[in-house]
A and B are shown apart, each in its own frame.
Chain A
């Protein structure tokens, strides 16, 4: 019958339709993302020849150099340390704000608050980073302000060109990224659970600790990942705030690839950076799964 044929055609065409429809985007991503990443992966096992050439001599030599070399390891540890500190500071500072918007702001004003929080994020990233250099610098806004008010006699040097300055700058830059996922997770919490907690004699603080916080954990973990991943690969902040003296992974990749013209070594650093990101992501995704399981 024709109706059977029709159903069959629908069944067959669902997969075909979907694949056809997604194909322009998929092909673009395969050609310009997957293929270059595979190339970098292959290059990372090759050796660097003179003048940017590559020698097809496949080995783990580049990786051994990166993971045991003192300078490389110092830079990678610095990147890891900075991004972890930024993530911790950003998420801890952001949680109360997300909590406030979700629990204390009347529903009709929530969108306004979120809008206010996201506006600074959409202004030029470069200019925001540079502004922190201007604020924290030796002759910067804080030092000159405090000097002119007579609070200090000579400029503070603990603010500028160091890892703390990176952390302040990046914690500011990624604030909305941390607030939004936590807010979404808090919004999903069934408010009657909190009342139940209090009815059963828990204090407000204990209700927060034993009900709200665990239930909002998926949002916290999303926030951690969303802040951690871009900060570990940040190029602008070490360059502008650190004056190039405290490079991080992205700066190291750029120097190897372009300044030294070592494509193989640069590729190996890029792959190592991806491995670090993937490793941290995996740890937190596993943690998230545990929290999700705990809920059921």
Chain B
């Protein structure tokens, strides 16, 4: 059934979604310290200002360490949980999975604060490691969700065929299961990486005096003079995340083509 006005509405909605993001490059190249219309001229000064900030690079380095470790570790944890939940039936399955998926429905502040209270009580110093611990909690549910659908579309008879042909469970997993769920693993890695990179509350409260990218950005907002440089940084980040997403989408489609499923679209 077609309602022609809907298309107009959908396009207006997309404009609403993209409007703030379009402002980023607009003001990143605008020759004015104030973020306001009318635009006054072209400059790359803000990109230089961003580039010359050594603090930014320290924060990016910390963020990359955290995002790589959390994405790899949470994907590993996700593989265990997804494989267990799609392949086996065991007592307490629902409640164990519920606990693992809980951070998805829990306000992040509560996850951060409860973890912080315990860390302070046992006297563990706040560092990059504690941020990774927190990020693992919030990334793992996403990894489990993505990987479960990858493991679900797996044909059991392929594994059984491998057993019949004399492969051990370990070699079957390596030779049959792993290549087939590889696209799921890659998109889980990319999505966990993006979530961890973007995450602010846990990084802010569990990081001690270690600054990561999101905390750096937050700190810069206090100085109006630094705002155009943040616009420049935002432009760079938007370009990077569009690249990452395109790669993720490519692997997702390839995975679907490989297992012969129908394209349902979307990541979630």
Contacts and interface: CB of A to CB of B under 8 A. Distances in A.
B110 to A, nearest CB: 5
A104 interface: yes
Contact of B117 (A43, A236, A274): A43
B198 A125 contact: yes
A248 B36 CA distance: 29
B77 A126 contact: no
Contacts of A43: 117
Given A26-B100, A134-B35, A254 B110 contact: no
A118 B99 CA distance: 27
Interface in A123-152: 123-128, 130-132, 134-135, 139-141, 143-145, 148
A18 B89 contact: yes
B20 interface: yes
A39 B137 contact: no
Interface in B232-268: 234, 237-238, 241-242, 244-245, 249, 253, 263-268
A24 B105 contact: no
A111 B133 contact: no
B107 A273 contact: yes
A200 interface: no
A123 B36 contact: no
A215 interface: no
Given A99-B6, A229-B107, A277-B105, A128 B99 contact: no
A115 B16 CA distance: 16
Given A18-B88, A124-B237, A240-B221, A258 B18 contact: no
A26 B23 contact: no
Interface residues of A, number: 94
Nearest to A15: B90
Nearest to A281: B105
A270 B89 CA distance: 34
A28 B18 CA distance: 38
Contact of A266 (B113, B201, B227): B113
B93 interface: yes
B137 A33 contact: yes
Interface in B83-138: 83-85, 87-93, 96-97, 99-100, 102-103, 105-111, 113-118, 121, 133, 136-137
Contacts of B140: 25, 28-29
Nearest to A112: B265
Given A267-B117, A273-B110, A235 B201 contact: yes
Given A141-B36, A145-B37, A117 B107 contact: no
A221 B267 CA distance: 19
Interface of B: 1-3, 6-7, 9-10, 13-14, 16-21, 23-24, 27, 34-38, 76-78, 80-81, 83-85, 87-93, 96-97, 99-100, 102-103, 105-111, 113-118, 121, 133, 136-137, 140, 144, 194, 198, 200-201, 205, 214, 217-218, 221, 227, 230, 234, 237-238, 241-242, 244-245, 249, 253, 263-268
